[in-house]
A and B are shown apart, each in its own frame.
Chain A
Amino acid sequence: MDKHALEEALRIKERFGGIVTAISMAPLTATDSLREAIAIGADDAVLLSDRSFVGADTLATSYVLAAAIKKLGKFDLIFCGNQSLDSGTGQVVPEIAEFLGVPHVTYARKIALLDGGIARVERALEHGYMLIEARMPLVLSVVKEINVPRHVSLMRISGAMQAEVRVWTSGDLDVDGGRIGLLGSPTQVADLFLPAIKRRGEMLSGAPDRVSKLLLQRLRELAVI
């Protein structure tokens, strides 16, 4: 659960109203992290969990997430973290948006809502930012600089451990079975291997000043310092 994404959604809700729903596609063990999202302030939580989802690449994952969002109905904003925890590829935001037929903005570092259903977003670039106006509904990913997530007491979190999390399986969603999970994933892992690394592998030891001298002597012999 990306706390910065949730925080931004809560701040917008506190200012403009609305309902915040937390969604995750994960094994059933992720129920507690969705309960934590409720403790932090989400109104509702949905866990997409099914054996047929296992092994999904980002396209198959985005397809299921988009199907769940369609089932939830009308929305204004969807916030995602910048990278999914297990793969770090950051592909789901543009893919979900495409499947939903709505615009997307990645790497948002500042968001302001204007009249007429327009969001003004600063999108972080390598050296600077791009200022974008986007019409909602809109899918966004946020960078961690966007906010400082609120602190929630352990008592409040443990108090939410009984909160209801809806669990949806593939049967609850309008999805094509050929496009989910491992078999519905265009990319496949063909091979795992250990890369060959050829290095000297010389271990140096001794007291700090001695080992430092020894290291610098080696580095000077190799003319790198």
Chain B
Amino acid sequence: MSSVAVFFQHLTNGLTLGGIYALIALGYTMVYGILKFINFAHGDILMVGAYMGMFAFDFLRGDAPLGAWTFISFLLAMIFSAVFCAVLGMFIEKVAYKPLRRAARLAPLLSAIGVSFILSNGAAWMWGTQSRKLNYPFDNSPITILGISITPHQILVLIVSFAMMVALTLFVGKSRMGKAMRATSLDQDTAQLMGINVNVVISLTFAIGSALAAVGGMLIALDYKCYPTLGTMTGLKAFVAAVVGGIGNISGAMLGGILLGLVETFGVAVLGIPQGYKDTIAFVILIIILLLKPEGILGKVEKEKV
């Protein structure tokens, strides 16, 4: 393999991983942009999304033979899981965060950590602590395109995650509610003066963020086993990705997520760091980025209002 091909190979692997991180990082950054608070339960939503998708897929597929319906039911299961998590996200916001909106800033943060435990323990209680695998029956042997070997799972992950990001960018940039979301994150009081119902915007933000996490969870489940604390480490990494990209900035979360994926992949491949230490190297590099630019790559320094 030529060194160029090797580079593109790692690039593909890194983008695949990064796409998933980006999907999850978006939820953190969108909520932070509007409420200035970190939803620490976001990673656990991803876990619930993976489980719900898994169950829905098994249910929809039934005993049908391998074929088009198998793939369609996978997509339907993804949509179901996204909708389920969107509703769950909105419900959590209403019950655990909204009553604390005017409380001290640490209160909703602690509430979020509590919700995180409730979700992961609830999953362990309902579905057991044993890890499970999504039973995705299609052949996953790699195919070679232009000298790069890529698995069908990777292709699926790349298409779905990047399509989601494009859709979100268009929604936030062009649509009426998307613009209202941006306005609310820039200045909540003034947004209300425009007739924007901030509660609706907040609910929508949680719905979209949670739906993206659910999709991310299902994409993870393609290649990894699911267990009740699945969301903890993945969520943490996506959170770091959001901070590195510039918390509150949507393009920043996408960039940070993709960057994290690339750093992890290239860290192992190029620097020859043992697989087990890949998280360490990723975090070291991210710390360096933050030392150089504390507000994140695309973040803006918040000016004190006078």
Binding partners A and B: no
**B residues bordering A, Cβ < 8 Å?**
none
